[in-house]
Amino acid sequence: MPGIKKVFTAFAILLLLSGCSQKAIDGARADGISLPDNESREPERIDAVSENGGGSMAGAKAVEKVAFRTEDGFMIKGNFTKGGRRAVVLLPQFTSNRDTYAGLAAKLADANFTVLALDLRGHGQSLDRNGLKAGYGEFSEQDFRNMTIDVKAAKVFLGREGFSLFAIVGSSIGANTALNYASADMSVERIVLLSPGMNFKGIETEKPSRSVKAKTLIVASDDDAYSFGSGKALAQNIPGAEFMALSGAGHGTNMFNGTFLERDIAAWLVK
C-alpha cells in the first residue's frame, strides 16, 4: 500500500502545479503583460505598432501603448484607451509628455470616450523622424507649427481603429496646436484649451481663432498672466466660447493639481 500512497501524492502535486501555472498565465493576461509566442495578446498592426505591456489602466479600461507615422516621417507614440465611438485626443505642453494626462484620461474613459494621449513630435518618446533622432531642442518655429500634422495622423489612426475624432484637449503649446488644427478641420466638435497663448514657439492663435467653429472651453489661472490674458482675448474671438478662470493654479496641466478641473473637463465634454 505505501507504493499506492506515493503515486496518489505525486498525482496531487502535479495537479496543484498545473493549476498554479494556469493562474499565472491568466493573471498575466488580465494585467496586460505581454506573453511569448502563442500567448501574445494582439498581433502587430500595419498602420500602428502595438507596444503592449505594463498593464496600466485608465479607469477600469486597459491602456494600450501605440505608435503611428505622420506624413512627414515622425513616429508618434501614444496611450490609447478604447471606449465609445467618440474619441478625445490629448496634447501635452512644451517639454512634457502624455503621462501628465493620466488622471484626465481615466475620467474620460469612465465617461465612455475613447482616449488617445500623445507625445507630440520631439517630446517624450516621439523622437524618431525617418530613423533619425529629432528632439524639440533642435526645432525651428515651423517644426513646432507642424505639430498639427501629429493631430492629423492621430485622426487617421483613430479612423482606422473605428473611432471618430470628437474633441481635442491641449495644454499650453498643445492648446495652440489644438486651436490651429480645429480652425482647419471643421469636423472637430469640441476643443479644450488649457493656458493658451497668443504665440507659443511660433504657433500663433489670434487669426486662426476667428475660424474655429468647434464648441470651445478655455481655462487659465490668474497667476499665469500671459495665458490668462490670451485666453480671455481668444474667448472673444470664438463664438460661444466659455472662459473658466482659476486662482493660483499655475500653468497648463499643473492646474489639475488640487482642483476639480479634470472632472469638470470630462463633464463639459459629456454635456
Mean pLDDT of 220-231: 98
- Which residue is it, cell 500671459? 226
Residue pair 253/101 in contact by the 8 Å Cβ criterion = yes
> Quick check: 8 pLDDT over 80?
no
pTM, two decimal places: 0.80
| Ramachandran assignment for 140, one of left (phi > 0), alpha (psi -120 to 50 degrees), beta (any other) | beta
Q: Which residue has the higher pLDDT, 62 or 3?
A: 62
Residue 197 has pLDDT above 50, yes or no: yes
- Look at 1 and 143; give whichever has higher pLDDT: 143
pLDDT computed for residue 60 by the predictor: 61
Task: Give percent above pLDDT 90 in the chain.
Answer: 77
Lowest mean per-residue pLDDT among 54-58, 73-77, 207-211: 54-58
Instruction: Give the tens place of pLDDT for each residue, 111-158.
Output: 999 999 999 999 999 999 999 999 999 999 999 999 999 999 999 999
**Is the distance from CB of 171 to CB of 195 less than 8 angstroms?**
yes
38's grid cell: 502563442
Q: How confident is the model at residue 87 (pLDDT cuts 50, 70, 90)?
A: very high
10 Å Cβ neighbour count for 23? Answer: 10
What are 47-68's pLDDT values in tens digits? 454 444 434 545 568 999 999 9
Which pLDDT score is estimated for 61? 83
Report residue 267: phi and psi, to 5°.
-65, -40
pLDDT at 193 over 60: yes
Q: Would you give the DSSP letter of residue 43?
A: P
* Angle in degrees, 0-180, between the axes of helices 147-161 and 173-184, rounded to the nearest 10: 70
- Cβ–Cβ < 8 Å for 42, 29: no
Going from the C-alpha of 67 to that of each of 158, 190, 207, 215, 219, the distances in angstroms are 12, 24, 32, 29, 29
pLDDT above 80 (res 33): no
Quick check: 38 pLDDT over 70?
A: no
List the single range of 57-66, 93-102, 172-181, 189-198 with lowest mean pLDDT.
Answer: 57-66
What's the confidence (pLDDT) of residue 112? Answer: 97
3-17, 22-36, 124-138: least confident range: 22-36
Q: Read off the pLDDT band of 105 (50, 70, 90).
A: very high
**Between the CA of residue 132 and those of 122, 128, 185, 216, 242, what are the distances in Å?**
11, 6, 30, 37, 41
Least confident window among 41-45, 180-184, 196-200, 240-244: 41-45
Q: What pLDDT, on the 0 to 100 scale, is given for residue 6?
A: 44
